């Protein structure tokens, strides 16, 4: 590792009281599980079966809870949000983004929102886009080699309706940095380049011991 790269790692690791999260390798079964759970989320908000089917589905979900409950672990121990190769890093909370670019000058992710994210009239719920942008902001900070930061504010402008079942591209970059502060921008576009939404925010580096 070069001296410059080592310095970047050293700076990044100065991250207040935030725990150090490392990438996880839980095996292919976890990837299958996350894929199936994402599909289950879609069906949970779209299926309309007979009443007895809901009873059967509830029985199976309760069995799944019983299976996994003994293995509940602290944050940063379970693989969720720690498998970069999986959509949304393996976290069901996150939209299923995949990273296309991760450089100091900016980050690019691709995302395809499914039925689970519908807010109305088959459009992505407006509250989901700040979640996406906040995730992008965090990646931007990491890619730029800045220490762990918290979001101080995040402003979103909605330009067009964001569709589901369509491959979209989100881009983010640091617009300006000043001491502990990093002002960041992001945008979401469709395959034709149409601007769907854009965001700007302030990320502030944590102080030593700060959660």
CA–CA separation, 202 and 92 (whole Å):
25
CB 198 within 8 A of CB 137: no
What is the tens place of the pLDDT at every residue in 165-181? Answer: 999 999 999 999 999 99
Residue 37 lies in a domain: yes
Residue 6, strand partner residues: none
What single string gives the DSSP state of each residue in 181-194?
A: EEEEEEEEE-TT--
- Give the per-residue pLDDT at 4: 42
Phi, psi angle pair for 57, to nearest 5°: -65, -40
In a domain, 211, yes or no: no
Q: Is 56 part of any domain?
A: yes
> What does the DSSP assignment read for 111-163?
E---GGGEEETTEE-TTHHHHHHHHHHHHHHHHTTPPPEEEEEEEEEE-SPPB
pLDDT of residue 87: 96
The count of structural domains within the chain is 1
**Residue 104: CATH number of its domain:** 3.10.129.10
3-class secondary structure, 26: coil
In a domain, 69, yes or no: yes
Confidence band (pLDDT; 50, 70, 90) for 184?
Answer: very high
Phi, psi for residue 37 in degrees, rounded to 5 = -65, -35
With respect to residue 176, please indicate whether it lies within any of the assigned structural domains: yes
In a domain, 175, yes or no: yes
Kindly report the pTM of this predicted structure: 0.89
Range of the structural domain that residue 129 is part of: 3-205
pLDDT tens per residue, range 56-108? 999 999 999 999 999 999 988 999 999 999 999 999 999 999 999 999 999 99
Residue 210 maps to a domain: no
Strand-pair partners of 204: 150, 181
């Amino acid at each position: 590792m070069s001296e410059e790269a080592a310095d970047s790692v050293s700076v990044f690791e100065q991250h207040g009281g935030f725990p150090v999260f490392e990438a996880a390798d839980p095996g292919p079964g976890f990837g299958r599980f996350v894929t199936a759970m994402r599909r289950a989320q879609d069906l949970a908000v779209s299926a309309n079966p007979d009443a007895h089917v809901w009873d059967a589905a509830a029985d199976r979900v309760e069995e799944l809870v019983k299976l996994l409950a003994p293995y509940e672990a602290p944050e940063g121990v379970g693989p969720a949000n720690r498998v970069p190769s999986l959509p949304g890093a393996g976290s069901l909370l996150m939209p299923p983004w995949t990273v296309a670019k991760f450089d100091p000058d900016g980050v690019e992710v691709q995302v395809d929102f499914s039925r689970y994210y519908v807010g109305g009239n088959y459009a992505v719920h407006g509250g989901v886009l700040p979640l996406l942008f906040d995730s992008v902001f965090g990646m931007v900070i990491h890619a730029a080699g800045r220490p762990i930061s918290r979001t101080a504010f995040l402003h979103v402008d909605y330009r067009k309706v964001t569709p589901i079942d369509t491959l979209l591209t989100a881009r983010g970059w640091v617009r300006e940095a000043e001491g502990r502060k990093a002002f960041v921008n992001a945008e979401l576009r469709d395959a034709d380049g149409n601007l769907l939404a854009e965001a700007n925010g302030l990320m502030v580096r944590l102080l030593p011991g700060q959660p």
